[in-house]
Amino acid sequence: CPSKGENTFSAANMSVLFQECAKSKRAREVDMDHYLAAWDELIRFLNSMGKAFSFVSSDVVDKVGILRAFRNSADASHYETIKKMIVYEKNNNLINYKEAPSKKVKAYGSRTLLRLHRALKFLLILIGKLARNEDEGKVSVMGYNAYHASPMAEYHPWIVRKAVGLAVYMLPDRPAFIKQLCQDMSEEELAKSMQVCSESMDAIFEYTHALYSKYEVLEIP
């Protein structure tokens, strides 16, 4: 499609990226580069949603940037997979069980990725609601309910929960939302593609969750 630049969201590409991640070598250890590439595509989608969602996309851009910086550092090999990252950070006492990052405390990989991990659950729930046209077809209600059904909300301070409560009213209605997702395919193709994509996303969520659970880092601040 000639009018589309490399910064345009593609549902087809998103689906391919999540499938590649779910089916890559040692999929259960979750390949970092595949995982971040899939998030890059989600950033493109968030950017297409307009200014009201820039508080969301800028946080995702930050977090993907933190993780990619580790992948480009001298420690790159320790960040090849989510499993390697957690094991490395645990064994080297890089995990802060007490304090969230601040001006004084540097953000590290495991806690940063954990935030993206919780957001992936939100997205899975939202896609399911859109596909089944739940919540009386109201995307704002789907967004609100998906947020509160995901593990994301319970870890957010009230000010963020409030902001999300307002932002969901800025979501387009279902036909417009679907059109926004359909940059590069028909609605039928999108439905099929989202089905395949969410199966991969679900697998990646479960693999990641199993690792965080095994190494007991599901609650790090």
β-bridge partners, 55: none
Nearer to ligand 1PZ, 24 or 140 (CB): 140
Token output for 10: 């593609």
By CB under 6 A, residue 82 contacts ligand 1PZ: no
59 binds ligand 1PZ (CB under 6 A): yes
Count CB-CB contacts under 10 A for residue 55: 12
Pattern 18-57, ligand 1PZ, x by CB under 6 A: ------------------------x--xx------x-xx-
Which own/partner pairs from 191-195 qualify as long-range (CB within 8 Å, at least 24 positions apart)? 191/131, 193/11, 193/12, 193/15, 194/11, 194/15, 194/127, 194/130, 194/131, 195/131
C-beta separation of 110 from 85 below 8 A: yes
d(CA 34, CA 18): 8
Q: Measured from the CB of residue 150, what is the shortest distance to ligand 1PZ in angstroms?
A: 9
| Residue among 28 and 160 whose Cβ is closer to ligand 1PZ | 160
| Residue 197 binds to ligand 1PZ (criterion: CB under 6 A) | no
Q: Which of 38, 95, 142, 164 binds ligand 1PZ (CB under 6 A)?
A: 164
Residue numbers of the site for ligand 1PZ (CB under 6 A)? 42, 45-46, 53, 55-56, 59-60, 100, 115, 119, 122-123, 143, 147, 152, 160, 164, 167-168
